[in-house]
Chain A
Amino acid sequence: MRLAKFAILLMVTVVMGQQPPGQPTGVLRLRVRVKADDTAPLRGLARKRFFLIPGTLEQNRALITAIEQQPLTTRDCYYKQHHASAQLIAWLQEGDCESVYCRSIENEFVNGPKAVPEFANAFAANHSQFGNDLIALQWLTNYLSPDLRDGFYKDRQRTLETLLKQGQLGMIQSVMTDRNGTAYFTDLGPGTYVLSNVIPTELQQTLVTWNCEVQVKPGDLATEKPYLVSNRKDRLVKCVGVEKPKPVCAAD
């Protein structure tokens, strides 16, 4: 009897496991392609976060206005304001990095002509504790000052949090583009959304902000809806960003 009950339960579980979920959902395939300047080639915008905010542009007017009017400190300006060495700023620029975590810190950036003073000091601090070259190198970021380690990231997170509190129409999804500038928003119900990068993206000389309305229609559900985003107009581009020159840095 117990075996029969178990068998029935197992069958029900297997059958239920194969049934499609009740509500069909859609997928938005985001492709972001930008030109850093007029002479540069169009390329995928890698490693940038985009947000899908429920509601229309009008319904999110307060948020959009706040996004457009936010004072922004650029990456280089932040590090200058926090007295980062020229070598550290150059190291970040070389990898288009926002923080020290974005690329591995190799020996040549601790010793020798390419050394970054902050890295050399952090290496020495760790080395004096454990006396191990490899650990000192791998654990180097633990010994940097908080402002230079993740202060820029935390600043941006605070800004994001403050801004997104104003979008109160439902759950906000966020995804990051891959190296080709592609990302997917999944499990979307039908409706209107605002696609935004919320924090302007830094290109070479400009800042780009995207705030566009996206419709997910019942016919789009269970399929992948392509959505091309750029800072240049084109026939296939659904959302063109607004570009502004980078603000002057007070630390310059």
Chain B
Amino acid sequence: MRARTSQILTRVAEAVFPPLLALLIAFVVGDVLILAFGKSPAAVYRLLLEGTWRNPYGFGQVLYKATTYAFTGLAFALARRAGLFSIGAEGQLAAGAFGAAVVGLALPVGTPWAPAAGLCLVAAAFAGGSVGATAGALKAVFGEHEVIVTIMVNFIVLAALNWVVATRLHDPETLHTPAIHAGAFPRLSEVWPALHGSAANFTIVLAVVVVGAVAALLSLTKYGYQATAVGLQREAAAAAGISLGWTWFIALTLSGAIAGLGGANFVLGYKGYYEDGMAGGAGFSGIAVAVVGKSPFGVLFVALLFATLSQGGLAIHASMPKQFVEVLQATVIFTMAAVTPGVRAMIAGSRVARRAAAGEAS
């Protein structure tokens, strides 16, 4: 019983201390940068808070951005569990958004909401999943490194989408598709009027459901067990009869499908069309969200944090360039990765020390 409690405490400490320390260091770096611009850190952070959590519109925007980050973060976290670093969410997010937009356009005006939205979501997941599956096949069959493959596939997918939208499927004078005919998600402001004007919409509910589904997949199913085994010790997993290639293929495909679903937030929930460049780095931010958040539920929290920073970047624009928050986000990932091994070692060290002390006492 005592051992079990201390095990849980260790896990909580391992999950909580590195992000806190990383955030602390990142904010110190942020302070230095703000001072370099000759501004006051306190004033900048006050602006950041006032533009986000302290006003309903800003809060709605935070929820909207957090929704996309939750999907791309989960996508990275899922592949990571199988030991893979997928950099592909950026292209998969765009592909999913495009898939949803094309199906939404193809449906006749007046299609009932539920089947229309369902079809659009299936299209988003399928489009993102296909992109992920391509990378998965190259990894599983040819042994190509997934980092390189997903980066290359990103370039290819984004160029292909740009081509299709620019030459075949755009409203005149724009780089976006015409508006979808059916399947749009309602805004959150319909049940929470204060959020009026913000992009927050019911895709966020889907995000929470997918978080639960991924958590369940990883901890309750046979596939989740296999993926975890492959991620922890691939040689041992292979020796136990688990197919590495198949596990990786499925992981990258599912990861792509989840990132693709994230495209619904923009197309079905916000704009009603696919626009070139809509991903805007949210796929890469997902890596940060997953690295800091670790577990599916952690991803949800960190998505809110990064969304706050991203929206906050707009709020502080009067006194700092919004690129400031990009530096802050990168610093969080960097320090998170840098402090994790040390904090782990310290926690393990203190546990060993305590056990030794207990041993001497008895």
Q: Do A and B come from one complex?
A: no
Residue numbers of B with Cβ under 8 A of A are: none
Q: Chain A interface (Cβ within 8 Å of chain B)?
A: none
